A and B are shown apart, each in its own frame.
Chain A
Amino acid sequence: MMDGMRKIERDTAASDIKIQARSVQVFYGDTHAIKDVSVDILDKTVTAFIGPSGCGKSTFLRCLNRMNDTIDIARVQGDIHIDGDDIYDPSIDPVQLRAKVGMVFQKPNPFPKSIYDNIAYGPRIHGLARTKAELDEIVERSLRRGAIWDEVKDRLHEPGTGLSGGQQQRLCIARAVATEPEVLLMDEPCSALDPIATAQVEDLIDELRRNYSVVIVTHSMQQAARVSQKTAFFHLGNLVEYRETGQIFTNPEDARTESYITGRIG
């Protein structure tokens, strides 16, 4: 575990606040899933959300790009600002918001299209490329950023569903970065992957920090320790503790955090 903490000493000082959430409440029907959560997420930083199953970390993540809108019974209250803009303001189009806040899901979900079309889908619908050459360039750049270019460059027109699980997940990350988002949300991106693929994706996340604000939900505390600079611990819908990753793992303030990271609850 200590070996896994090699990245936590990195600097986080030079970061600005990218996402500011204040008193966020989420209800699923009668269930109060998120209770009064306030958090500041920094730019060019990897922020990890940890906590036991059902604690609301994924729900909160899905508030940040308004994916909860697609669930009929979900209601979100409170303020979430990205770069100072209230994303729940009626003037905000969730479609444009989602182009700016990319998301990678728990299970790799490539479209049943070719590798090329998977990446080109976002740029096409948002009109990011005027010519075929520009699109080709975006596809190559995104695949390189997704650390999968070398593996797929000779078979761009084969179906994306034919790749291995780890490759599919990196393809999905490449697809998410192809629309040039500013924030990348990752909902347990490694839970369906084997250790080797997990290591590749984790290296990639560290790489992505240079350009994006990355928020990652994870079940694995080792993973949070390895890739993140800031960690938030959720429990029963509450944000219990939110601090530097190194501090939260070595010197937790709250008794619940300590119980969780030492394996007594969860």
Chain B
Amino acid sequence: MTTFAFVALLCVSVLGYSLNRHAATRLRANGTRLHSVPAYHGLYSLLSTMVPVVTLIVTWLMLQGPLIDRFTMSGLPAGSLDSLDTGGRQLILAEIKSISRGRIFGDPEAWKVDAADRYVRMHAISGWVLLGTVIVASLGIVGFSRSRVAAEFRARHGVERITSGLMLFCSTIAIFTTLGIIAALLFESIRFFERVPIMEFFFGLNWEPQIPLREDQIAAEGAFGWIPVFLGTLVITVVALFLAVPVGLLSAIYLNEFAPSRLRAVAKPVLEILAGVPTVVYGFFAILVVAPAIRSFGATLGIPVSPNTALAAGTVMGIMLIPFISSFTDDALSAVPKSLRDGALALGATRAETVLNVLFPAAIPGIVGGILLAISRAIGETMIVVMAAGLIASLTVNPLDSVTTVTVQIVTLLIGDTSFDNPKTLAAFALGMMLFVVTLVINVFALRIVRKYREAYE
């Protein structure tokens, strides 16, 4: 029935479009000067029908389910829900719904079958009423729009108002989603901090999130100090940047300033392919190629290297970040006006001197912004480290040791059977919150720097 409602709406709207358009065209044919061209009159009718009626349909569909559920439950014979808690009531509702779909298990009581019948009937009625409402409402709006077609009617302004309202709505979706994420994280984090002291989380040097699930289990009490976990993230990030920053910068400078245009035409897309490699594939590369290579190289030097080193994970993450940093650097260098480049060359500066003394200082804010964004990506990167880094949080800065990261811990805490009243599970949200805060701060800094730099040349 919902499909019919949408089809009806579409037909009526198109009808409204052509009615208004023809009416406006006729007016113009009679020699009247219109404020808006006929197409705007048509669009005005189309949009002013579509927007409110689609809103109506969506609201209807959202409210219909819970309301019908409630009516079904309240219509049950007196006493059938006595002595049942929320879970029990939900079970009965689920049973009624499955009967209504024709899936009958065993021999249900007669009142449940009755309820299922009523449930089906109410849905059917709701559908018909929706269809009727949609047709009446859209026809009403089309008629009203048609009556407004006149030479001085400002249809274009109306269309612009509706469109900018739609754009405003779309742009707020991202903002409200962010707010929702923050609220969810915050809410669960507060529940975590009700169970684990906040000081222990921020300053604890131990991370052992094993909590006995049953009384007879022998397990550690659980320690939730985030410092070793965050240290692991930092070590891997630093390793990644040590690789990505110099390689990314130099490759961008080469491609931007020195490479012949044919090489540039090939190399730049190839570098961008690197940015398109899924991180899980980088993860394979880390465990299958880089980690064994580092290990055997360490063995030849006589250095003990653990199988899951921060070095391996960091190196591969660095490779992932190279195109990121090099494209930011490339943009920043290209944004330096050509006149500065010419000015330096005309003074007899070599290309290298031009890059080093003139272009680079002018581009540095953009480059720094790119590096900060790369850092926040490295901190939030999950798949590579899940595959290539370790699980045990150890307080070390040695890149040849196994370390774990915030993201790895969040993944492991939420995998498998989880109960959301357990500090072990809730710890994931606290970690997520911290990750969010750290990357947010870095991003804010990065954006500020990038913006400041944009002002310098435009």
Interface residues of chain A, those whose CB is within 8 Å of chain B, are 65, 67, 70, 72, 95-100, 102-103, 105, 107, 109-113, 121-122, 125-126, 172, 175-176, 179
Cross-chain pairs A/B with CB under 8 angstroms, 24 sampled: A70-B341, A72-B260, A95-B349, A95-B350, A97-B348, A98-B346, A98-B348, A99-B348, A105-B342, A107-B339, A109-B339, A109-B340, A109-B343, A110-B343, A111-B340, A113-B361, A121-B347, A121-B358, A122-B348, A125-B349, A125-B353, A172-B343, A176-B346, A179-B348
Q: Check: B456 CB closer than 8 A to any chain A CB.
A: yes
B341 cross-chain contacts in A, Cβ below 8 A: 70
Q: Are A109 and B347 in contact (CB under 8 A)?
A: no
A175 cross-chain contacts in B, Cβ below 8 A: 343, 347
Q: Are A67 and B342 in contact (CB under 8 A)?
A: yes
Interface residues of chain B, those whose CB is within 8 Å of chain A, are 260-261, 337, 339-350, 353, 357-358, 361-362, 456
Given A72-B261, A112-B361, A113-B361, A125 and B342 contact (CB-CB distance below 8 Å):
no
| 6 nearest A-B pairs in the assembled complex, by CB-CB distance | A99-B348, A109-B339, A103-B346, A98-B348, A109-B343, A122-B347
Q: Say how far B258's CB is from chain A's closest CB, in angstroms.
A: 12
A95→B348 CA distance, assembly (Å): 5
Q: Are A99 and B342 in contact (CB under 8 A)?
A: no
Given A107-B339, A121-B357, A67 and B346 contact (CB-CB distance below 8 Å):
yes
Q: Are A70 and B345 in contact (CB under 8 A)?
A: yes
A97→B149 CA distance, assembly (Å): 73
Q: In the complex, which residue of chain A has the Cβ closest to the Cβ of B361?
A: A112
Given A111-B358, A112-B362, A102 and B261 contact (CB-CB distance below 8 Å):
no
A126→B353 CA distance, assembly (Å): 11
Q: Are B343 and A105 in contact (CB under 8 A)?
A: yes
Q: Which of B339, B346, B348, B456 has the most CB of A within 10 A?
A: B346
Q: Are B348 and A125 in contact (CB under 8 A)?
A: yes
B343 cross-chain contacts in A, Cβ below 8 A: 105, 109-111, 172, 175
B348 cross-chain contacts in A, Cβ below 8 A: 95-100, 122, 125-126, 179
A97→B348 CA distance, assembly (Å): 7
A122→B358 CA distance, assembly (Å): 12
Q: Say how far B101's CB is from chain A's closest CB, in angstroms.
A: 69
A67 cross-chain contacts in B, Cβ below 8 A: 342, 345-346
Q: In the complex, which residue of chain A has the Cβ closest to the Cβ of B347?
A: A122
A172→B346 CA distance, assembly (Å): 11
A100 cross-chain contacts in B, Cβ below 8 A: 348
Known: A70-B341, A103-B342, A113-B361; 18 extra A-B contacts, CB below 8 A, are: A67-B342, A72-B261, A95-B349, A99-B347, A99-B348, A102-B346, A102-B347, A103-B346, A109-B339, A109-B343, A111-B358, A111-B362, A112-B362, A112-B456, A122-B348, A125-B347, A172-B343, A175-B347
B362 cross-chain contacts in A, Cβ below 8 A: 111-112
Given A111-B340, A112-B456, A65 and B346 contact (CB-CB distance below 8 Å):
yes
A122→B342 CA distance, assembly (Å): 13
A105 cross-chain contacts in B, Cβ below 8 A: 339, 342-343, 346
Q: Say how far A165's CB is from chain B's closest CB, in angstroms.
A: 13
Given A112-B362, A112-B456, A121-B357, A98 and B339 contact (CB-CB distance below 8 Å):
no
A111→B346 CA distance, assembly (Å): 13
Q: Say how far B6's CB is from chain A's closest CB, in angstroms.
A: 55
A97→B337 CA distance, assembly (Å): 23
B361 cross-chain contacts in A, Cβ below 8 A: 112-113
B347 cross-chain contacts in A, Cβ below 8 A: 98-99, 102, 121-122, 125, 175-176, 179
A111→B337 CA distance, assembly (Å): 10
A179 cross-chain contacts in B, Cβ below 8 A: 347-348
Q: Are A109 and B349 in contact (CB under 8 A)?
A: no
Q: Are A70 and B349 in contact (CB under 8 A)?
A: no
Q: Say how far A206's CB is from chain B's closest CB, in angstroms.
A: 22
